[in-house]
Amino acid sequence: MSGPSTDRNRPTGHSGYAPDLLVVGADVLGGGTADVLVRDGLVAAVGADAAADAPSDVERIDADGLVLLPGFVDLHTHLREPGREDAETIASGSRAAAVGGFTAVLAMANTNPVTDTAEAAERILDLGAAAGLVDVVPVGAVTKGLDGAELAELGLMHRSRARVRVFSDDGRCVADGRVMRRALEYVRAFGGVISQHSQDPSLAGPQACCHEGETSGRLGLPGWPAVAEASIIARDAMLAEHTGSRVHVAHVSTAEGLDVVRWAKARGIAMTAEVTPHHLALGTDLLAGYDPVFKVNPPLRPDPDRAALIEGLLDGTIDAIATDHAPHARHDKEHAFVDAAFGMLGLETAFAVVHDLLVADGRLPWRDLARLMSVAPAAIAGLADHGRPIAPGEPANLVLVDPTASVTVDRDSSQSLSRNTPWHGASLTGAVRTTILRGRVTAHEGAPTSC
Ligand SMILES: NC(=O)N[C@@H](CC(=O)O)C(=O)O
Ligand SMILES: [Zn+2]
Ligand SMILES: [Zn+2]
């Protein structure tokens, strides 16, 4: 797969040629040590051939003790551009993504204006390409202006240069069953998928901000009941079956919701589900101090739900880990708990949180981590160049991680324009060392590479 040798001398750029790279001594997917040669954006050789094929002036990356994985793919990122460039831009979110080990992120549609036209989707694609650090893949809105009533230009968005395949009104639930049915019927024609924010708004008051249960009662916070999630997932499962179309459950957070996903899959319904690192690792008890950094939608759940989500992740019911990276400006978070914005940062901490929680103790093997953070999300979103095997001829979208590094999270060293990480001050085992997009290093040791 090697190109003509003169290509090596071409300038580096996000769409240009990168110099050859030789990753030396990486543990490839936890399956054993090998060298990996990267040339012209592709994996050129793996194993004994790699060093032999490399030119003498090759750029070497010492990967002793590091694990090499396919670059992570985030099905669920909020980048805030256009509209709230004070909280995040496509460029700043791309830096955070690259530092977090991601090579592709799906940018949610709840921007201002909403991504509900082909032009809006192409604009996000172009801004992502200009930033050049990660493939920014626009998610299209299901309904115009996220109003829940009138379908957006689903077909035009799909046929645009952005090739939109994932549609979501995330931030809001597509609550009207008739609208959801139409959307499913529409996207079936081109293999699209609806990513649903599963939360029946009629089952909670407008100020709901806490899991409904013992803690919400004690803290006096209006609650979201688990049934608001499970009932929408059940309805959508039946609509997916009825239409022969595909539903993806965004940020599943309850044992009940997960049980419905398990049932739907057993029935052969085309339903997939993602879970966030924060719903795996953080519980409702953190709300005791009313710190809005822990306010997120869906809310943090009690420990039995967290245990169920971990079980669902390990038994394959949950397909993917997605960050729901939701940056918010300080003045939108610094309010009384009920008035603060929902959401927390996730791109830069996702790997470390999941590694610390599940990989370090051996519960989640490296191959399964790669499946959950790269292979399955790429398949769900239809991204042909991501989540690929690490083998000759494959696109070199890769991440090197250090399983022994212990890192204390510091919100002030974040690449995001926002600071709302719930892990500030936490020590986590596992760190992203180097991210490679189409053969070019996009981030190294916490710093993005300018292109
Ligand atoms: N997750 C959140 O708490 N907030 C998200 C919206 C969403 O994912 O529902 C946001 O856009 O801020
Ligand atoms: Zn959501
Ligand atoms: Zn979201």
Pocket flag, ligand 1, residue 197 (CB < 6 Å) = yes
> Are 141 and 157 in contact, with CB atoms under 8 Å apart?
no
Q: What is the DSSP secondary structure assignment for residue 140, as one 8-state letter?
A: B
Q: What angle do CA 260, 326, 275 make, to 5 degrees?
A: 25
Confirm whether 191 is domain-assigned.
yes
Q: Do 271 and 402 sit in the same domain of this protein?
A: no
332 and 317 within one domain: yes
Choosing from 324, 325, 328, 337 the residue with most ligand 1 atoms within 8 A of its CB, the one to mutate for a pocket test is 324
Cα 170 to ligand 1 centroid, rounded to whole Å: 7
Asked whether the predicted pLDDT for residue 13 surpasses 90, the reply is no
In the prediction, which pLDDT does 9 show? Answer: 37
C-alpha distances in angstroms, 379 versus 59, 176, 193, 199, 394? 31, 28, 11, 25, 15
Residue 386 in any domain: the answer is: no
Give the model's pLDDT for residue 220.
96
Q: What integer is the mean pLDDT of 118-123?
A: 98
47 plus 99 within the same structural domain: no
What's the confidence (pLDDT) of residue 205? 82
Exactly one of 35, 116, 236, 324 is catalytic; name it. 324
**Whose C-alpha lies nearest to ligand 1, atom 10?**
326
- What residues have a C-beta under 5 A from ligand 2, the ion? 170, 197
Given a contact cutoff of 8 angstroms between Cβ atoms, the answer to whether 22 and 37 are in contact is yes
Predicted pLDDT at 48: 85
Asked if the structure places residue 196 within a domain, the reply is yes
What are the structure tokens assigned to 402, written together? Answer: 């250090």
Q: What confidence tens digit (pLDDT) does each residue in 78-97 have?
A: 999 999 999 999 999 999 99
Banded model confidence at residue 204, pLDDT cuts 50, 70, 90? confident
**What pLDDT sits at residue 5?**
37
Average pLDDT over the chain, rounded to whole? 95
**Cβ burial, residue 44 (10 Å; 0-12/13-18/19+):** buried
- Structure pTM? 0.96
Radius of gyration of the chain (CA): 21
CB of 297 shorter than 6 A to ligand 1: yes
Contact by Cβ (8 Å): 158, 193:
no
Q: Where among 360, 381, 402 does a domain terminate? A: 381
Shared domain for 249 and 129, answered yes or no, is yes
In a domain, 371, yes or no: yes
Residue 427 sits in a domain of what CATH number? Answer: 2.30.40.10
Clarify whether 324 is annotated catalytic.
yes
For the stretch 409-415, contacts whose Cβ atoms lie closer than 8 Å and that sit 24 or more positions apart, written own/partner, are 409/349, 409/352, 411/345, 413/446, 414/96, 414/345, 414/348, 415/92, 415/95, 415/96, 415/98, 415/99, 415/348, 415/448
- Write out the binding residues: 76, 78-80, 110, 170, 197, 251, 297, 324, 328, 342-343
Q: Answer yes or no: is the C-beta of 436 below 6 A from any ligand 1 atom.
A: no
Q: How would you classify the pairing of strands 247-249 and 223-224?
A: unpaired
Q: What is the CATH number of the domain that holds 80?
A: 3.20.20.140
199 CB less than 6 Å from ligand 1?
Answer: no
CA–CA distances in Å: residue 330 to residues 93, 127, 154, 162: 17, 25, 34, 32
- Examine residue 35 and state whether it is found in any structural domain, yes or no: yes
Q: Is the dihedral of CA 220, 224, 226, 228 positive or negative?
A: positive
For residue 182, tell me if it sits in a domain.
yes
Within this chain, do residues 63 and 74 fall inside the same structural domain, yes or no?
Answer: no
Count of domains for the chain: 2
Query: How do residues 269-319 score in pLDDT, each as one tens digit?
Result: 999 999 999 999 999 999 999 999 999 999 999 999 999 999 999 999 999
Give the tens place of pLDDT for each residue, 34-83. Answer: 999 999 999 999 998 899 989 989 999 999 999 999 999 999 999 999 99
For residue 80, the CA-to-ligand 2 centroid distance in Å is 14
For residue 142, give the nearest of 162, 171, 105 by alpha carbon.
171
Check if 181 has its Cβ closer than 6 Å to any atom of ligand 1. no
Q: Interface pTM (ipTM) of the complex?
A: 0.98
CA 379 to chain centre: 13
Predicted confidence at residue 451, as pLDDT, reads 59
Q: Which of 74, 76, 77, 78 to mutate to test the pocket of ligand 1 (most atoms within 8 A of CB)?
A: 78
User: Tell me: the pLDDT tens digits for 209-268?
Assistant: 999 999 999 999 999 999 999 999 999 999 999 999 999 999 999 999 999 999 999 999
**Which alpha helices (H) appear in 205-268, and where do they start and end?**
214-219, 226-243, 255-266
110 Cβ closer than 6 Å to some ligand 1 atom: yes
pLDDT digit string (tens) for 127-151? 999 999 999 999 999 999 999 999 9
Mark whether 204 and 125 lie in a shared domain: yes
Which residue's CA lies nearest to atom 6 of ligand 1?
Answer: 171
**Residue 371 and residue 229 share a domain:** yes
- Say how many Å lie between the CA of residue 18 and the centre of ligand 3: 34
Asked whether residue 62 falls in the same domain as residue 75, the answer is: no
**Pair 369, 429 in one domain:** no
- Tokens 């979208």 correspond to what residue? 397
The domain boundary residue, chosen from 332, 349, 381: 381
Closest CA to 340 of 307, 302, 382, 295: 295
Domain that holds residue 221: 70-381
Q: Is residue 177 part of a domain?
A: yes
Residue that terminates a domain, selected from 357, 381, 405: 381
CA of 334 relative to ligand 1 center, distance in Å: 16
Q: How confident is the model at residue 19 (pLDDT cuts 50, 70, 90)?
A: confident
Would 387 be classed as within a structural domain?
no
Which regions of 317-426 does DSSP assign to beta strands (E)? Answer: 320-321, 398-408
Whether 343 lines ligand 1, by a CB cut-off of 6 Å, is yes
Q: Do 351 and 249 fall into the same domain?
A: yes
Inter-CA distances, 34 with 23, 57, 332, Å:
8, 20, 48
Exposed e or buried b per residue across 426-450, where buried means at least 16 C-beta atoms within 10 angstroms of its C-beta: bebbbbbbbbbbbbbbbbbeeebbe
38, 131: one domain: no
The 10s digit of each residue's pLDDT in 381-415 is 999 999 999 999 999 999 999 999 999 999 999 99
> Is the same domain home to 127 and 266?
yes
What pLDDT score was predicted for residue 14? 46
